[in-house]
Chains A and B, each alone.
Chain A
Amino acid sequence: MADEGAPAASLHGVTVEYPSTTGPVVALRDVTLDLPRASSTAILGRSGAGKSTLVSVLALLRTPTAGDVRIGDVSAGGLDPIGRAHLRASEIGIVFQAFHLEPAFTVIENVMLPWHFAPHSERRRVARNWAHEILEILEIGELAARRPNQISGGQRQRVAIGRALFARPSLFIADEPTGNLDEETANGVADTILTLPARLGATVLVVTHDAVVAERADRRLTLVRGRLGPGDETR
């Protein structure tokens, strides 16, 4: 990003409406949010509050009905689909509740997936070394040659985290990252998510309904019926 002083990402007056048979459904209403660099933010909300929509807008997977999304100092509204894909590839890492690992690929191949679509990418060997390094940082280096069905749920989520960090993103988004994990594993994964990206220089946004996970973030926001609620608090 050109402007180091700008937030890692920001939303300005973002509204998202879905069409439905009974009229448009508003998923996000006039949401404005800045995500300062190297910070961690947790967004809490119940099911149907608009959390996943917020994630999809920030990840540039959905174009808002109104408002502006900026990644660093780049406005996503001014980009064509390929430009948005390139920005997503180079600046955004995302982890979903479901691990979404390709079962036919090894762990390291799953981590390297973004390499295949990166607009400017290094050589395969360099990429592979970096993927190994990420796995070592995530303390699952010994699993590199295994397939997803040969590792545990917590390890799979770490692999998904590794994949999201592969492109050295400035914004790391996790959507209900602990939803499929038991409590002990969820704690370990939450620790990783809220500390590791920051160590690598990324800004973290965690969307969750788990208050324990949210507690570890620098800042917590609440999303209620598509609005960022007044419960904004800073630790």
Chain B
Amino acid sequence: MADVVFSNVRKVYPDGTEAVHDFELEIADGELVVLVGPSGCGKTTALRMAAGLEDITSGEISVGGRVVNDIDPRDRDVAMVFQNYALYPHMTVYDNIGFSLRIQKADKQERDKRIRTIARMLGLEGDLNRKPRQLSGGQRQRVAMGRAIIRQPQAFLMDEPLSNLDASLRFQMRAEIANLQAAIEVTTLYVTHDQVEAMTIGNRVAVMRRGRLLQFAEPQTIYDEPVELFVARFIGSPPMNLVESTLVRADGGYAVRIGSRAVRLDEAEIGAVRGIDQRVDRPVVAGIRPERLEDAGVAADTPAERRLTGQATMRETLGSDVLVHFDVDRAFALSSEVRAIAQDIEDPVELEPVDRQALSLIGRFSPKSGIRNGDRVEVALHPGAVQLFDPETGRSWRRDAEGDTR
């Protein structure tokens, strides 16, 4: 059993900054968990604590059931892939990969065999005699992987291994890493700031912000059911649309005002919230993903109370979809407080006031939509599109989001 467990882990630096707070994470044996968040959120610190490169202020980290807090990095049986690969520049690829075995004074023949096997697996056979500076970014990345794999450790720790590659290479290597991990079945903790990477690679995703773990679930769950405004905005591209509104009663049901319209909540949206009755007439932040909006001209059978009106300001043709930015009639942009929560900014006063600007939303429409810049638009909401968040805490009103202690 080579699971990795963080229990109540805290990291406080000598100058008092708290980098990681009350961190709890359980990575199952063989699982690939992605730790994602903006820079400075503590994800790399957490990773380095698992490796033994940072001291743990309090709490416990265990690998394979063994508490590793006081164990030297070399004895923890974990392997790490660094952001800059940290290849030994004065050694060949062959020596780089085989370094750990050489330290252990492994049998020379055995070592040679293992190195070559791994090199073959990673497509590095022809490069064994080269030095790192002669290799491309992708090759270097693979050497770093090889160095980690050869030790057959209990866990892999990866620190943004793809962020130094250009976009197309990143795309390719993402798949390679995922496949490799699945093939070897080694428990992996993967840190990144790129939410696309997080969603595509991870078996489960942990979102961090300012030293705290916000949500830990499967990618689709995080996308569909974010527990916080920040998670909702961080995951998903383009980011979720947010509207400051009030929950009101309407026609025997409930609605949220968006601009000149009162958008009616459907059954699914109502059912997700516990005690919606008590929340009537309270301020709320409504979140609607761009993918859940459609040109009313295309989704013609949407009822009027599930439509928004506005004016298109920009059209971005992607080919598979069309992104349309539109200003909602008589609605105003987010207050700085809510923006601060959603974007992980400490002090809302730092943001420029945009109160009197129009509320601008983005919809991802079907390519059939003929909307152009400046057109008047009617935008339809998909069923279950609206998610509700508390404007003060940023917490989702979903009944299962309430349960978390954070």
* A and B co-occur in one complex: no
Q: Which residues of A contact B (CB under 8 A)?
A: none
Q: Which residues of B contact A (CB under 8 A)?
A: none
